[in-house]
Amino acid sequence: MVNLDFLKQPIITEKTTKFIEQKQYIFDVDPKLTKKQMKKIIYSNYRKRVKSIRTYRILKNTNIKKRVIFCFEKTKAKAQ
């Protein structure tokens, strides 16, 4: 398992709860990580395929934060 310290905290607001209904999750992450690295870490730990990753940076004073929106692929129901 890979260390999950890159996920600093989830962002829970009124707007993000609408994203959750669409299976999209927003987190503050380590600003040094790339999209490919994040995708690989999520898959190796949770076995969930990431459909898309959107990132944006927030500048507060001299502090730089990176936020990520993860959109996951829908899982297929197993037939019995």
Q: What is the pLDDT of residues 8-18, one digit of tens each?
A: 888 899 999 99
The whole-angstrom separation of Cα 27 and Cα 68 is 5
Q: pLDDT by residue (tens digit) across 26-60?
A: 999 988 889 999 999 888 888 888 899 999 998 88
Neighbours of 51 (CB within 10 A): 13
Going along the chain from its start, the domains and CATH numbers come out as 7-72 (3.30.70.330)
Output the pTM of the full model.
0.75
DSSP state of 12: -
